[in-house]
Amino acid sequence: MVTDAIDLKKMYWHSRRGMLELDLILVPFAENVLPQLSKNECKEYARLLEEEDQDIFMWLMKRVPVQDSSLQPIVDKILSHT
């Protein structure tokens, strides 16, 4: 495992958002894919989780482009899992 168990648990709990639609996408991703991500990908995922729910939702629904292009690869990875 690239990231320690405590960091993974924190990211898992931060994946649980206040928005059901995001929970249905992010929680399964965190459960199934997060433990296999590289350390860099985990950092990008953690950065993504710092964004507002509405922004993340719009990016994942492809309604608007990701503002920070460095987050696009992790958004793509999430979308490929759903």
Confidence (pTM): 0.89
Please report which confidence band the pLDDT of residue 3 belongs to, taking 50, 70 and 90 as the band edges.
low
Please provide residue 50's backbone torsions phi and psi, each rounded to the nearest 5 degrees. -80, -15
Full domain range(s) for residue 28: 5-81
Contact 29, 56 (CB under 8 A): no
Q: Which two tokens stand for residue 52?
A: 């507002």
Q: Does pLDDT of 1 surpass 80? A: no
CATH number for the domain spanning 24: value is: 1.10.150.250
Q: How many CB atoms are located within 10 Å of the residue 9 CB?
A: 11
> How many domains, the chain?
1
In sequence order, which residues have a C-beta less than 8 Å from that of residue 15 and are 6 or more positions away? 23, 26, 27, 29, 30, 34, 49
16-67: pLDDT as tens digits:
998 999 999 999 999 999 999 999 999 999 999 999 999 999 999 999 999 9
Question: What is the per-residue pLDDT for 6?
Answer: 86
CA–CA distance, 59 with 62 (Å, rounded to integer): 5
Q: Does pLDDT of 81 surpass 70? A: yes
